[in-house]
Each structure stands twice: as structure tokens, then as C-alpha cells.
């Protein structure tokens, strides 16, 4: 049987999550927001409220993460594709999602 990560018909993020779901790999990832450049457009926390939230001024911060300067947080869940969608949708490109396989 072909592994999801070897199946070239699947988007890489889907294949990684399927493989992760089978309990073979623990996928940890980090999210960083450079809040100085955030224009408070609300896109990221509308797309992905599991990982992004608004502060009192409408600027984004990582849920459970720091809120001064750069907001950072680490996660280990099945929802990385939402975080990546928020990253690619940020109009000023101040979000970074970095995977770290263990």
C-alpha cells in the first residue's frame, strides 16, 4: 500500500496530515506573526480562528502566544492547512508557518 506522503496526486499538506493521522509522525509547527507590519485586516483570524485571534486594536496574535512585537506559538494538531491558508492570504505577508517533523 502506498503511503500518503508518496502519493503524488495528493497536495503535500493533505498527504502529511493523512500520514500524521495514522499516528506514524508527529507534526509540530510554529507560527510567527510580525505584528509591527500587521494592518489589522482580520483575514487570518477569519480564515483560521483556531490559531489566530484579534487583539483590542484588531491586530492579529497567535492564540495562546505572545502579543508584543512578534507573536509566536507552537502547535501540534491536524489543522496546519488552515494556518497555511491564513499565511498565504495575509496581504502584507507577515505570517510564517514553519513545519518541524519529529
- Which residues of this protein are in contact with ligand SF4, per CB under 6 A? 33, 38-44, 60, 90-92, 94-95
For ligand SF4, the closer CB: 19 or 45 = 45
Angle CA 15–51–24, to nearest 5: 30
Helices (H), ranges, 30-94: 43-47, 80-89
Rounded Cα–Cα distance for residues 60 and 6 (Å): 36
Task: Tell me how far, at minimum, the Cβ of 30 lies from ligand SF4, in Å.
Answer: 15
Task: Tell me how far, at minimum, the Cβ of 15 lies from ligand SF4, in Å.
Answer: 26
The DSSP 8-state label assigned to residue 55 in this structure reads: -
Task: Tell me how far, at minimum, the Cβ of 27 lies from ligand SF4, in Å.
Answer: 23
Amino acid at each position: 500500500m502506498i503511503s500518503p506522503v508518496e502519493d503524488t496526486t495528493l497536495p503535500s499538506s493533505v498527504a502529511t496530515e493523512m500520514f500524521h493521522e495514522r499516528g506514524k509522525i508527529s507534526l509540530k509547527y510554529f507560527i510567527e506573526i510580525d505584528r509591527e507590519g500587521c494592518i489589522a485586516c482580520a483575514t487570518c483570524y477569519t480564515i483560521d480562528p483556531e490559531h489566530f485571534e484579534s487583539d483590542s486594536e484588531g491586530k492579529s496574535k497567535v492564540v495562546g502566544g505572545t502579543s508584543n512585537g512578534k507573536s509566536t506559538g507552537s502547535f501540534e494538531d491536524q489543522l496546519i492547512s488552515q494556518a497555511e491558508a491564513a499565511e498565504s492570504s495575509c496581504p502584507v505577508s507577515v505570517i510564517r508557518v514553519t513545519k518541524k517533523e519529529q
